[in-house]
């Protein structure tokens, strides 16, 4: 679907690189149709050497060349980049921004025109193509453009489409979520060490247990509580562990963590 569309990444950092790798590996595009800009010559050399894509240091030239523009700079510099490219943007472009916390109306105000625009919120496992991205389109966005954006982000994991008003909640769950799970994995490893396992063995057991459990929920489509009940035998080991987790308030704590991160995201967006 995006074959023969020229894609420009403005900002060639971690997220842009994840997307370039994903798009090329999924064969959604070819290196000649992908261009990245950056102010850092080092980053440009890295992405050129690794992916043989086009690189440049002029954002406006990239916009004039491209059909799809993906803004991958930090939120602090997005307004500067938008005002720099404003004269080259037309309603033939599809503009996608991954800048966290920057609303569609803020981007539209900065560019002073209404063009097809998608706001995306990926998360860091995108770098291994296991991310999840929430997409929100501007009002009037065509289904065709939404599908183009979906196919791009599906190359780095799963995609959900949400109303933009839910982006802070997305940030609180999947944006910050990898850190919560890292903490859980670290604690499981420490638990294993506490009961006598060598750390490397505990590491393998903990990582694969979290990965396997996530895949069980994702691939069987079963409610997590059903899967949990199935492995919890009367008077057994699992119910003893679960009781301890309930006493420690694990569930309430995770719910509150998502809520706190969502509030913080909304505060930062003001």
Ligand X SMILES: NC(=O)c1ccc[n+]([C@@H]2O[C@H](COP(=O)([O-])OP(=O)(O)OC[C@H]3O[C@@H](n4cnc5c(N)ncnc54)[C@H](OP(=O)(O)O)[C@@H]3O)[C@@H](O)[C@H]2O)c1
Which stretches of the chain bind ligand X, using CB under 6 A?
10-16, 37-40, 43, 59, 72-75, 77, 80-81, 98-100, 121-124, 175
Least Å from the CB of residue 131 to ligand X: 8
Helix, strand or coil, per DSSP, at residue 213: helix
Specify the residue, 31 or 56, whose C-beta has the smaller distance to ligand X: 56
Q: Minimum CB separation from ligand X for residue 68, in Å?
A: 16
Residue 121 host element (H or E): strand 117-121
Backbone angles phi, psi at 228, to 5 degrees: -65, -45
Nearer to ligand X, 2 or 73 (CB): 73
Residue 196, φ and ψ in degrees, nearest 5: 105, 5
Tell me the DSSP string of 196-212.
T--HHHHHHHHHHHHHH
Residue closer to ligand X by CB (options 1, 39) is 39
Q: Check if the beta carbon of residue 116 is closer than 8 Å to that of residue 69.
A: no
Map residue 1 onto helix, strand or coil.
coil
Q: Minimum Å distance from CB 44 to ligand X?
A: 9
**Measured distance CA(263)–CA(163) in Å, rounded:** 17
Shortest reach from residue 78's CB to ligand X, in Å: 7
Q: In this complex, which beta carbon is closest to ligand X, that of residue 10 or of residue 189? A: 10
Strand 54-56 with 68-71, pairing: unpaired
Q: Which residue number is nearest to ligand X in terms of Cβ? A: 13
CB 262 within 8 A of CB 169: yes
- In angstroms, give the least distance from the CB of 75 to ligand X: 5
Q: Based on CB atoms, which residue is closest to ligand X, 24 or 98?
A: 98
Question: 31 or 125: whose CB is closer to ligand X?
Answer: 125
Beta carbon of residue 198, minimum distance to ligand X (angstroms, whole number): 32
């Amino acid at each position: 679907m995006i074959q023969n569309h020229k894609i420009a990444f403005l900002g060639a950092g971690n997220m842009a690189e994840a997307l370039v790798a994903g798009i090329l590996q999924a064969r959604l595009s070819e290196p000649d149709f992908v261009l990245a800009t950056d102010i850092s010559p080092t980053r440009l050399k890295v992405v050129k050497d690794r992916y043989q894509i086009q690189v440049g240091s002029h954002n406006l030239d990239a916009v004039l060349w491209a059909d799809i523009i993906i803004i991958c700079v930090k939120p602090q510099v997005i307004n500067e980049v938008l005002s720099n490219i404003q004269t080259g943007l037309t309603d033939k472009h599809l503009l996608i921004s991954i800048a966290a916390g920057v609303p569609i109306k803020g981007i539209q105000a900065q560019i002073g025109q209404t063009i097809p625009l998608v706001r995306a919120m990926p998360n860091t496992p995108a770098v291994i193509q296991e991310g999840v991205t929430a997409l929100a389109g501007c009002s009037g966005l065509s289904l065709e453009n939404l599908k183009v954006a979906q196919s791009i982000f599906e190359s780095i994991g799963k995609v959900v489409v949400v109303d933009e008003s839910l982006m802070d909640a997305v940030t609180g769950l999947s944006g910050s979520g990898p850190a919560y799970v890292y903490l859980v994995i670290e604690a499981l490893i420490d638990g294993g060490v506490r009961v006598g396992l060598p750390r490397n063995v505990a590491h393998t057991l903990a990582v694969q247990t979290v990965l396997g459990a996530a895949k069980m929920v994702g691939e069987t489509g079963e409610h997590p509580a059903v899967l949990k009940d199935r492995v919890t035998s009367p008077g057994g080991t699992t119910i003893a562990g679960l009781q301890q987790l309930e006493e420690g308030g694990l569930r309430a704590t995770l719910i509150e963590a998502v809520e706190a991160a969502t509030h913080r995201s909304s505060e930062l967006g003001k």
